[in-house]
Amino acid sequence: MGQVPLTQRSGASARPNADSEGHGDRLQTDLTAFEALFSSHGARMKSLALNLLGNVADAEDAVQEAFLRAYRNRDTFRQGSSLFTWVCRILINTCYDTGRKRRSRHDSASLEDDLVHDPPSPAGDHPLRLTLHRAIEELAPIYQQVFLLCEVEGYTHREVAAILEIPEGTSKARLFEARRQLRSALGRSQGMPS
Amino acid sequence: MIEDDDLTAAARTLHREWKSPELWPAIAEEIRRIEQGERRRSRLLAWRGLAAAAVLLLITGATLFLMREGSSRQPSAPTRTAAGSQRLLSDDALAEIERAESQYIAAIEALAQKSTGGTPPPTPLAAALHERLLVIDAAIADCRAEIEENRFNAHLRRQLLAMYQEKRRTLEQILEEARHAS
């Protein structure tokens, strides 16, 4: 995944001694790492957020918030682990936080309104798209996350396992269960036996 | 029945892509703002740390100084107190006492000259009184020696006065005895 690593931090206590040039260097290194991540994974991160939140504005806000949360908490980032999986995990949590806040405000926009203004899919359209979207929304989060990451965004089980911090086998099992539930839901919506 | 392939194909269409040229600059700008805030906070923390260290240093220094001052004063305090208690007489009072003493001593010496007169004591009582006079003179000499070391000691002066009074009484007794004997 060719990432620029985040600068190693030795904790807040080291910071007051650092001169402004040191701060500038570190900032530039961190910005470069985040920019590289945004260039390589930004599109899929935005798409993931869109599928979790339902509209472009919220999706972009969530991506921005995820990067900012990651930057604020960069001291907790474990060197040697993947910056992408870490930020992606933060993005998923941010999306669920946003969804909770939106539900508590009772202003959840209707799916149809959102999807009318949806950006086009590179894979073209599909007659099951709207139905599938609704069915995915009904899934439990653990199945929803694996399905969106694997089937929609095309990540491997190894990557999904790293993002969600679960074993690969669990990722496969969850995808299997997600597909079963979705097939059943889509079959019901089309009046077919599942 | 929905086929797996249909599900996969439909899922692929849920991936959306759109351009958002403002997104990364906005993120970068926010990150720079966060960094500036952190730098300000860390500078503030550093200043606070320095200020706290300076205050601590000041308190420690002041405490050490006061402790040293206290310990250097303590040994000299009793000396000063002793000197103060020993110096019971002022210079003027001392001059007055010494003048009176010298007059008193001169009078007693004159009395002694008159009572003893260089002749041997005529009676055993007169001899005993002469002996007592010698003891009193020796005591007076000792007391005067002590007074020479501390001329402002009023207590010694009172003792010396009592000895001279004793000497005066003894001389009077010697004169009385001589009168009876004659």
User: Could you tell me the residue range of the domain that residue B146 belongs to?
Assistant: 88-181
Task: Per-residue pLDDT tens, chain B, 182 aa: give them.
Answer: 667 788 888 899 999 999 999 999 999 999 999 888 888 888 888 888 888 888 888 888 888 888 777 766 655 544 445 555 545 567 777 788 788 888 888 888 887 777 766 666 667 888 888 888 888 888 988 888 888 888 888 888 888 888 888 888 888 888 888 777 77
* Banded pLDDT at A164 (limits 50, 70, 90): very high
Average pLDDT along chain A: 81
Q: What's the CATH fold of domain A20-115?
A: Rna Polymerase Sigma Factor; Chain: A (1.10.1740)
Q: What's the CATH fold of domain A120-194?
A: Arc Repressor Mutant, subunit A (1.10.10)
Distance CA A113, CA B29 (A): 31
Residues B176 and B96 in one domain: yes
Query: What residues does each domain of chain A span?
Result: 20-115, 120-194
The answer to whether A71 contacts B11, with C-beta atoms less than 8 Å apart, is no
pTM, to two decimals: 0.57
- Please report whether residue B120 resides in a domain: yes
Residues B76 and B157 in one domain: no
Distance CA A155, CA A177 (A): 17
For residues A128-142, average pLDDT = 90
Cα→Cα distances B143→B5, B83, B108, B133, B134, Å: 131, 19, 17, 15, 14
- What dihedral do alpha carbons B58, B62, B63, B67 form, nearest 10°? 160
| Residues from chain B contacting residue A15 (CB–CB below 8 Å) | 38, 42
Residue A32: closest CA among chain B residues belongs to which residue? B28
Tokens 């003179």, located at residue: B137
How many domains are there within chain B? Answer: 2
Residue B31: closest CA among chain A residues belongs to which residue? A68
The answer to whether B24 contacts A42, with C-beta atoms less than 8 Å apart, is yes
Token representation of residue A33: 């790492």
CB A26 within 8 A of CB A7: yes
Residue B22: closest CA among chain A residues belongs to which residue? A60
Q: What is the ipTM of this complex?
A: 0.76
For residues A170-189, average pLDDT = 92
Longest dimension (CA), chain B: 168
Residues B57 and B75 in one domain: yes
